[in-house]
Amino acid sequence: MRVSLIQIDVDPAEPVEARRERVAELVRGQTGSDLVVLPELWTVGAFAADLFTTEAEPVDGRTAEVMSAAALDAGVWLHAGSIPERASDGAIYNTSLLFSPDGELRHTYRKIHRFGFDTGEAALMSAGETIVTAELPGGAVLGLATCYDLRFPELFRLLVDAGAGILVIPAGWPERRREHWTLLARARAVESQAYVLAVGTAGTHAGLRLAGHTIAVDPWGAVLAEAGHDEAVLTVDLDPALVAKTRADFPVLRDRLLGLPTPPRPAPPR
């Protein structure tokens, strides 16, 4: 399974529509891949809170229209990162979009953990409530999460329980906490015995330098590829069968107790 991770430079001087079209061309260039992944809130910037409301759009809005066409042209599954979604009731969510190779919007995920400690995203956006997995042809199951979600391992336990073997995490992570980004990506891979595809943004916006450093990690925690600070495309080959093999060879997940029903005690010998 070939995956392309596109780390986008979010420049506030670039108009949103121009960025949509530019990113669509980057997606179209990944015709040899099975899955393409974009970062979080790349249309506006993850910390550009003043644009969350003005640029919010429905899940079938302009970004979806452009990304659907790009997925169809490239013939790829496209995780189009996330957008500021305006729901029918007016609420705004940080929502990820997953398109199939025929351009159909197959899944959406509303970010559950909002960052900002009562400011920014946490103040302006509503929280999602539902975990989301997506099964691709061949049996690979994606578990969807977004940026700040990475700090909450209980979410990834639920995704693993739902069958996920590839954890996809678009983000707009700041440079000043970049060590946490790579550390947590590897930790989530090791504890979940799953691939982690963590896709960041590059550049500086809202006065904040972004970490970049998009990273792909295998189920043993080994880094398969990692970008630097600039816009980049990483292409890696995954073996979904390695997830099952890792879990069979080192069956740590079966020994979980907390948060699960207590296993029955064996009957005493007679």
- Catalytic residue from among 57, 85, 121, 147: 147
Instruction: Verify whether residue 191 is a known catalytic residue.
Output: no
Tokens standing for residue 4: 């392309």
Rounded to whole angstroms, how far apart are CA atoms 124 and 90? 12
Q: How far apart are CA 79 and CA 32, in angstroms?
A: 16
Considering 85, 111, 121, 231, which one is annotated as catalytic?
111
Catalytic pick among 40, 55, 85, 121: 40
Give catalytic status of residue 40 as yes or no: yes
Q: Which residues are catalytic?
A: 40, 111, 147
